[in-house]
Amino acid sequence: MTEFAAHFPSPLGPLVATADDHAVTGLWFEDQPGSPPAPDGPPTPVLRHLGDWLEAYFAGANPPVTLPLAPRGTPFREAVWQLLRAIPYGATTTYGALARELARPGRMSARAVGGAVGHNPISLVIPCHRVIGAHGALTGYGGGLDRKTALLQLEGAL
């Protein structure tokens, strides 16, 4: 399967995205740990759609996520990422709340959920920045806490 890449400007620093023929597979800030050194490829329809989404998002809109997404991870990580997609724009949740949701009816570690959140390969669109620590603490974000704060402010969540 061929993977394509594109770079996008943002008010919080340049972004790099990857996609296959059908879906977005990754989105990171260029200086974020785990960001691939990806040269720009041909502008695919999926990446153009992502660029439009990012432009609307950073303009302060709440664009619907109609992008096809294909994050790759373990079944556990993918289950956590699915929960992240359900966090509404302008809202936050905690690692503990996600753990309780995922564990029904059993128990789940907030730390395990935090590890899966931290490995989210499609930041912003799969909104891991909306997950905060207990008692409202801003913790953990691969793009840095300054960016997490700015994203939550953009969405009116702080």
Of 128, 131, 132, 157, the catalytic one is 128
Classify residue 70: in a domain, yes or no: no
Q: Please give the share of the chain, as a percent, with pLDDT higher than 90.
A: 62
**Domain carrying residue 39:** 4-58
CATH (domain of 112) = 1.10.10.10
- Give the mean model confidence (pLDDT) for residues 115-124: 92
User: Does residue 26 share a domain with residue 83?
Assistant: no
What pLDDT score was predicted for residue 18? 92
| Predicted confidence (pLDDT) per residue in 19-30, tens digit | 998 999 999 999
The mean pLDDT of the chain is 89
Classify residue 66: in a domain, yes or no: no
- CA dihedral defined by 35, 37, 42, 44, rounded to 10 degrees? -10
What pLDDT score was predicted for residue 14? 95
User: Does residue 146 share a domain with residue 103?
Assistant: yes
**Is 128 assigned a catalytic role?**
yes
Classify residue 42: in a domain, yes or no: yes
Give me the residue label for tokens 């590890």: 115
User: Which among 148, 74, 143 is positioned nearest to 112, based on CA atoms?
Assistant: 74
The pTM of this model reads 0.90
Domain count, the chain: 2
- Give the mean model confidence (pLDDT) for residues 64-77: 93
Classify residue 67: in a domain, yes or no: no
Classify residue 63: in a domain, yes or no: no
User: Does residue 16 share a domain with residue 83?
Assistant: no
Question: 135 pLDDT exceeds 90?
Answer: no
What pLDDT score was predicted for residue 62? 93
User: Does residue 89 share a domain with residue 149?
Assistant: yes
| Contact (CB, 8 A) for 63 and 53 | yes
User: Does residue 94 share a domain with residue 38?
Assistant: no
Classify residue 105: in a domain, yes or no: yes
